[in-house]
Amino acid sequence: MAEHEHVRVAVIGSGFGGLGAAVRLRREGITDFVVLERADSVGGTWRDNSYPGCACDVPSHLYSFSFAPNPDWPRTFSGQEHIRAYLEHVTDVFHLRPHIRFGAEVKRMTWDPERLRWDIETASGALSADVVVSATGPLSDPKTPDVPGLDSFPGKVFHSARWDHDYDLRGKRVAMVGTGASAIQIVPSIQPEVAKLTLFQRTPPWVMPRIDRAISGAERLLHRSLPFTAQLRRGLLWGIRELQVQAFTKHPDELGFVEQLARRNMARAIKDPALRAKLTPDYRIGCKRILLSSVYYPALAKANVDVVAGGLDEIRGSTLVAADGSEAEVDAIIFGTGFHVTDMPIAERVVGAQGATLAEEWKGGMQALRGASAAGFPNWMTIIGPNTGLGNSSMILMIESQLNYMADFVRQLGVLGGRVALDARPGAVQAWNDTVQERMRRTVWSTGGCTSWYLDASGRNTTIWPGTTSEFRRATRRVDLAEYEVLRPQAKRASESDTLGEGAEVAA
């Protein structure tokens, strides 16, 4: 990377958000951009999460870009390897590789108010950009709990998102810490080969059957020959979920019927009343992420599996102690304890117009105008920003909506002309956030009686979008310049040397 290289747009990350942004920029006629990726390949969370059983819980034809349909998905719910291959395919089809800088982890990015640009320090050099699109994603940095005694554990320890494929689990005594989306896929995958599996459960999840099957060759041939059939399939999957979201956002009491289905799913596999009691949630379904699996409960019923309901409290040598006092001797610990979602590490590396980091500005809770723009951080946008997550549908739909917003943002800069920047007005950010939080009050995520990773340290939901994907699409269709301050360079005073920096002023 050439030192002090300057580009029009710098995209951070090469997962769905980053690759989607790159494709959209090219479609807008912009080729002066780079994609900064810290790893050595594309894929984001679908590259990093390669644990046994890793798969998506959104149907394949909905979990793909609308502009890059895949008629050859092998299963109705795709595995990690298929999704990663899809992202590699998108990278090649849209000729994105020349734009990608691998091994270029962003260490710091600082807004220069005089030059109206972002100065970016990466692991492979420095550059600057007029616009930054941060697509690092909320599921990129694993979170491991600070358990007393962990440092002295003599066995193997790793997080599900950093799976150690060189470590052989066969015949080992293994502890699985956590019962989230990763854990319920890992448990049935490793249960047949380990000697003993102890599941440390803090909160039981609601689990529904996962109706997965192979997509036949005839179906794939049909989708290749008649692309509109794949579009119809995608549209049907989307429509069903748009109807379902009303129960989550407006009528949580109607979810009782779904809870009954989940209890029946459990009862079919778990015959022991004591175990069934451990696994039964005490909160409204949907409050935490609903998980899909047809093999999780059968695995927990096996003789070599123990479920500890107290959660992991302490480690003494190779002995793991639960909050209820029960103990387990193990050879390896696997943490399926999620990610830094409401405290994303990238926020500590972004320094805005006032010299404060994004993490400092967000210490009271994340908030961004239409999930994209933060006040005091001009020409900076995030993909999958605050309150853009979903509880029941495909995040690709939300990403594409934000790409629409990003495209219009760049267009508006072009229309304004010259060296210019857009900075979200604090009042506009607050008004948007107030509306989102007001809508959040009646959703299942606020009334369901649980604690989830959707909530920040103050208990506020800064993660989930409290509406349909079509509502969000309408809200991000275009940039409203009234919600932004337009920044331009100040005119030089006659006494100033040409070598002096230029300040910035707000254009009315």
pLDDT tens string 167-224: 999 999 999 999 999 999 999 999 999 999 999 999 999 999 999 999 999 999 999 9
Question: Which pLDDT score, from 0 to 100, does residue 490 have?
Answer: 76
Residue 199's nearest CA partner among 298, 322, 54 is 322
pLDDT for 42 beyond 60:
yes
Confidence band (pLDDT; 50, 70, 90) for 491?
A: low
The angle at the Cα of 287, spanning 286 to 290, to the nearest 5 degrees, equals: 40
Q: What share of the chain is helix, strand, coil (3-state, %, to 5)?
A: 35, 20, 45
462: phi then psi, degrees, rounded to nearest 5: -110, 15
Structure confidence by residue, pLDDT tens digits, 414-423: 999 999 999 9
DSSP for 105-160 reads -EEEEEEETTTTEEEEEETTEEEEEEEEEE---SSSSB-----TTGGG--SEEEEG
Question: Which pLDDT score, from 0 to 100, does residue 493 have?
Answer: 37
pLDDT for 315 beyond 90:
yes
The angle at the Cα of 83, spanning 81 to 86, to the nearest 5 degrees, equals: 110
pLDDT for 500 beyond 60:
no
41-60 per-residue burial string, b: 16 or more CB within 10 A, e: under 16: ebbbbbbbbbbbbbbbbbbb
Count the neighbouring beta carbons within 10 Å of the beta carbon of residue 391.
22
Residue 190's nearest CA partner among 208, 211, 165 is 165
Question: Which pLDDT score, from 0 to 100, does residue 3 have?
Answer: 52
CA distance 496 to 506: 20
pLDDT for 499 beyond 60:
no
Could you give all domains of the chain from N- to C-terminal order, each with its CATH number? 5-140+341-489 (3.50.50.60), 150-211+237-335 (3.50.50.60)
Tokens describing residue 282: 């005490």
User: End-to-end CA distance of the chain, in Å?
Assistant: 38
Structure confidence by residue, pLDDT tens digits, 252-280: 988 999 999 999 999 999 999 999 999 99
**How far from 115 is each of 64, 126, 351, 359, 412, CA to CA, in Å?**
38, 16, 15, 24, 19
**How far from 172 is each of 160, 197, 419, CA to CA, in Å?**
17, 8, 61
CA distance 486 to 507: 5
CA distance 289 to 151: 31
Query: Residue 287 in contact with residue 445, Cβ under 8 Å?
Result: yes
- In sequence order, the β-bridge partners of residue 36 are 12, 101
Question: Which pLDDT score, from 0 to 100, does residue 2 have?
Answer: 46
pLDDT for 498 beyond 70:
no
Question: Which pLDDT score, from 0 to 100, does residue 18 have?
Answer: 98
Written as one letter, the residue type at 483 is: E
6-33 per-residue burial string, b: 16 or more CB within 10 A, e: under 16: ebbbbbbbbbbbbbbbbbbbeeeebeeb
270: phi then psi, degrees, rounded to nearest 5: -105, 105
The mean of the pLDDT values for the chain is 94
The torsion angle over the Cα atoms of residues 364, 368, 374 and 378, rounded to 10 degrees, is 180
Residue 32's nearest CA partner among 11, 7, 12, 13 is 7
pLDDT for 431 beyond 50:
yes
Confidence band (pLDDT; 50, 70, 90) for 308?
A: very high
